[in-house]
Structure 1
Amino acid sequence: MVIIKPLLPEDIKSKVLKRVEKLVKDASGSIVSMDAWGKRHLAYKIKSHEEGYYVVMQVKLPEKNVKEFERELKLQNDVLRFLLIRKDNK
């Protein structure tokens, strides 16, 4: 899940998502699915924002590249917060 700054114009939001897609590809991964939930109220302020634009993604990444992918996501100024959850292959 990625939460993007809510007040960005649509073209900038799509550029941010393209950057995230590129980060996935650079980490030798692939995007399985992407679902934009849109603007939602945050439980608490993040970087002085009360709302965020939520995008839920399912990605496949080699385990060895996860740390670098997280580091790169942290450097994205327009990303307020992200959450990576490991899914079991059961």
Structure 2
Amino acid sequence: MPYYENVFIARQDISSAQVEAITEEMAEIITEDGGTIARREYWGLKSLAYRMKKNRKGHFVLFNMDASIDAIREMERQMGLHEDVLRFITLRTDELPEDPSVMMASRSERGGRYGRDRDRGRGEQRKEEASEPTAEPAEKSVEPAGEAP
């Protein structure tokens, strides 16, 4: 059977227990048809890029599964009918990933916002600027006022 990855977004005003119930319901559809759920991740309540059905936030859930296309179609049909599911997407993948998803990896494992090399240049520049000698301003000659040559 081919491998699939599914992410769905549930409404913001339902509880985590209700999200877990939706997750169990969708997993049951897959397993009844002979498929297996390799990984199930709850990413939490996240802000959406734009409003969806009057919601600014949503509960995100990821499935990695090995299932038949009929089971996937039935799961997608049920997600479309479920009033608490805002959006979903299912993608076919070549293999099941071994490591945790990017959303579940800690910030240090992901490399942070800009990666590790971004900060290093600034400190070195400051050290170089401090070691360069600064030119002192030239002295101005002041002539007394009153007598002009």
TM-score range, shorter chain: 0.7 to 0.9
TM value normalised by structure 2: 0.54
In the other structure, the counterpart of 1:41 is 47
* Count of paired positions: 89
User: Residues 1-90 of structure 1: matches in 2 within 5 Å?
Assistant: 1-89=7-95
RMSD: 1.5
Give distance in 2, aligned partners of 1:23 and 1:81.
Answer: 18
2:65 counterpart letter in structure 1: V
CA deviations 1:17-54 (Å, max 9, x no partner) are 11111122234321100111101111111111011111
Preserved contact between residue 27 and residue 69 of structure 1 (Cα < 8 Å): no
Which blocks of at least 5 consecutive residues in structure 1 are unaligned? none
Give distance in 1, aligned partners of 2:40 and 2:94.
Answer: 19
Preserved contact between residue 6 and residue 52 of structure 1 (Cα < 8 Å): yes
Q: Kindly report structure 1 stretches of 4+ aligned residues shifted beyond 3 Å.
A: none
Identity among equivalent pairs (%): 25
Bigger strand share: 1
Distance 1:21 1:5, change over 3 A: same
1:42 counterpart letter in structure 2: L
DSSP 3-state at the match of 2:91: coil
Higher relative contact order (CA 8 A, sep 6+): 1
Distance 1:27 1:76, change over 3 A: farther
Distance 1:66 1:10, change over 3 A: closer
Which blocks of at least 5 consecutive residues in structure 2 are unaligned? 1-6, 96-149
After TM superposition, give the deviation of residue 12 of structure 1 in Å.
Answer: 1.6
Give distance in 1, aligned partners of 2:72 and 2:21.
Answer: 22
